[in-house]
């Protein structure tokens, strides 16, 4: 809602979201190329989102550029490492552990509180 994306052009991108009350939002994100799903035909709407996946969503939503800096030590080789580094460069994240700023915890899930904090930083970055 914060990005005010247009309604999808009657395209149903995924086969597994029909029972979801969020199907329209899922299709909006797919049309905007922010969410790509867990496979080419599935979104997996009931699965949790990892911090790395969330980084990819936000990076695509803000169209953040790739950066040369490697902000964290625990995301090496992760498919979303570039997105994680872009978030750090944009000051949207400083990691997962205030006592250890070298960690992002890419495989941890995002809590609702963490997502709220990320979204507030995203809105401020726009």
- Rounded Cα gap, residues 24 and 17, in angstroms: 9
- Rounded Cα gap, residues 83 and 122, in angstroms: 14
Mean pLDDT, residues 31-35 taken together: 89
* Token pair 């190329």: residue: 33
- Judge whether residue 4 has pLDDT over 90: no
- Sheet strands (E) in 23-101: none
Structure tokens at 16: 């597994």
- Judge whether residue 36 has pLDDT over 80: yes
59-93 residue pLDDT tens: 999 999 999 999 999 999 999 999 999 999 999 99
pLDDT at 53: 95
- Most confident option among 10-14, 79-83, 92-96: 79-83
Q: State the average pLDDT for the chain.
A: 90
- Backbone dihedral region for residue 87 (phi beyond 0: left; psi -120 to 50: alpha; all else: beta): alpha
Phi, psi of 50 (to 5 degrees): -80, 165
pLDDT at 124: 87
- Judge whether residue 8 has pLDDT over 70: no
Give 39 or 99, the one with higher predicted confidence: 39
């Amino acid at each position: 809602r914060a990005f005010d994306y247009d309604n999808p052009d009657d395209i149903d991108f995924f086969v597994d979201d029909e029972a979801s009350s969020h199907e329209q939002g899922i299709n909006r994100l797919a049309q905007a190329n922010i969410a790509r799903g867990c496979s080419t035909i599935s979104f997996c709407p009931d699965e949790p989102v990892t911090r790395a996946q969330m980084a990819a969503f936000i990076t695509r939503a803000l169209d953040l550029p790739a950066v040369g800096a490697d902000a964290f030590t625990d995301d090496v080789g992760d498919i979303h490492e570039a997105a994680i580094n872009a978030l750090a460069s944009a000051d949207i994240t400083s990691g997962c552990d205030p006592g250890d700023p070298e960690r992002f915890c890419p495989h941890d899930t995002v809590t609702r509180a963490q997502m709220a904090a990320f979204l507030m930083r995203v809105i401020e970055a726009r």
